[in-house]
Amino acid sequence: MTCSDEAIPARVVEVDGPNATVEVEGKRECVGIELVEPVEPGDTLLCHAGIALEKL
Amino acid sequence: MKYIDEFRDGELAQKLSHEIEALAEPGRQVKIMEVCGGHTHAIYKHGVEQLVPDEVDFVHGPGCPVCVIPMGRVDDAIALAERPEVTFTTFGDMMRVPGGRGSLLEAKARGADVRMVYSPLDALELARRNPDREIVFFAIGFETTAPATALTLLRARAEGVRNFSAFCNHVTIGPPLRAILDSPGLRLDAFIAPGHVSTVIGTRPYDFIVEEYGKPVVVTAFEPLDILQAVVMLLRQLRDGRCEVENQYT
């Protein structure tokens, strides 16, 4: 969804190169992490449109 | 999500609501524009309007990229989507937005290859898997969404993917705010600025609102307590005669 330009905080489960698997409310998704590297499992990332915008 | 209950706590909301009532001056109408569509959504979803006195009005702002896209851009998107070599990818919420010649959903029904994606990275993956197709991504959105498009284009270039392109319609929040502030007969007292856009651009791009137009700004997150707290902060600025860009976003 682009409407409202809202981002969602998600917890990192696994890091794989420029991508990370994150968990949001029990669901897992893959996001690009180039903008916030380095990232470790357990970090919380603010994600929107399949990428991490900020490390929280 | 962690802390979501804390940011929707009914007792705290009542407390903030009383504080707003105490700050509101009887007979003096305060009009606050929430810039972002996410705030508008939260205000209606949680009934925030019912928690503020009649003296405080929310004015809904321009910050929904889907709502503000010119019809002509939708027509251009449809023209691209109808080319036989093109697979056109878009966020789901753009599918039903009408242009002058209908919507992308209607173009799809007529036979155009239109696909919904959650991320431009999904569109890039389609390009990798379908080297014989031209994959076009309908890039729309404010500063929160633009980084995803940029990152995807960088990846496409690095990998040498030649059949991927973006139809760029990204917008920034500064110019529409200036256009609003320049409109004749404007009756706005303060602004609730978008939280997530500000994680990308910071707070400095709002300085002109306080410096040139003398309207207080509070960068605000998206839960009901955030919005109520922002109203308290804005009313305090107005009461004290201050005019600053403050950050409520936690």
Q: Cβ–Cβ of B91/A7 closer than 8 Å?
A: no
Q: Is the pLDDT of residue B1 over 80?
A: no
Calculate how close chain B gets to A39, using CA atoms only, in Å: 17
The pLDDT score that the predictor gives to residue B2 is: 56
In A, minimum Cα distance to B173 occurs at: A5
- Measuring CA to CA, how many Å separate B115 from each of A29, B86, B118, B132, B148? 19, 11, 10, 16, 18
pLDDT bin (cut points 50, 70, 90) of residue A9 is confident
The CA-CA-CA angle for residues B196, B217, B26, to 5°, reads: 125
The pLDDT score that the predictor gives to residue A3 is: 46
pLDDT bin (cut points 50, 70, 90) of residue B152 is very high
Q: Which two tokens stand for residue A22?
A: 């994150």
Q: Roughly how many angstroms between the first and final C-alpha of chain A, as a whole number?
A: 21
Instruction: Check residue B191 and report its DSSP letter.
Output: E
| Predicted confidence (pLDDT) per residue in B176-210, tens digit | 999 999 999 999 999 999 988 888 899 999 999 99
Chain B residues near residue A7 by CB distance under 8 angstroms: 144, 196, 199
Answer whether A46's CB lies under 8 Å from B196's CB.
yes
- Please give the ipTM for the structure prediction: 0.84
The pLDDT score that the predictor gives to residue B195 is: 86
In A, minimum Cα distance to B221 occurs at: A6
Question: Quick count: other Cβ atoms within 10 Å of Cβ B66?
Answer: 18
Q: Cβ–Cβ of A9/B2 closer than 8 Å?
A: yes
Instruction: Check residue B5 and report its DSSP letter.
Output: T
Calculate how close chain B gets to A28, using CA atoms only, in Å: 13
- Measuring CA to CA, how many Å separate B66 from each of B90, B169, B178? 11, 10, 20
pLDDT bin (cut points 50, 70, 90) of residue A2 is very low
pLDDT bin (cut points 50, 70, 90) of residue B3 is low
Q: Which two tokens stand for residue B108?
A: 């799809």
The pLDDT score that the predictor gives to residue B5 is: 73
pLDDT bin (cut points 50, 70, 90) of residue A1 is very low
Q: Cβ–Cβ of A32/B2 closer than 8 Å?
A: no
Answer whether B116's CB lies under 8 Å from B91's CB.
yes
Q: Cβ–Cβ of A2/B94 closer than 8 Å?
A: yes
A26 touching B (Cβ < 8 Å): no
Q: Cβ–Cβ of A5/B196 closer than 8 Å?
A: yes
Answer whether B142's CB lies under 8 Å from B172's CB.
yes
Chain A residues near residue B65 by CB distance under 8 angstroms: 2-3, 5
A54 touching B (Cβ < 8 Å): yes
What's the pTM value of the predicted model, to 2 decimals? Answer: 0.85
Give B106-165 as a DSSP string.
Answer: HHHHTT--EEE-SSHHHHHHHHHH-TTSEEEEEEEESTTTHHHHHHHHHHHHHHT--SEE
A2 touching B (Cβ < 8 Å): yes
Using CB atoms, pick whichever of A3, A35, A50 lies closest to residue B37: A3
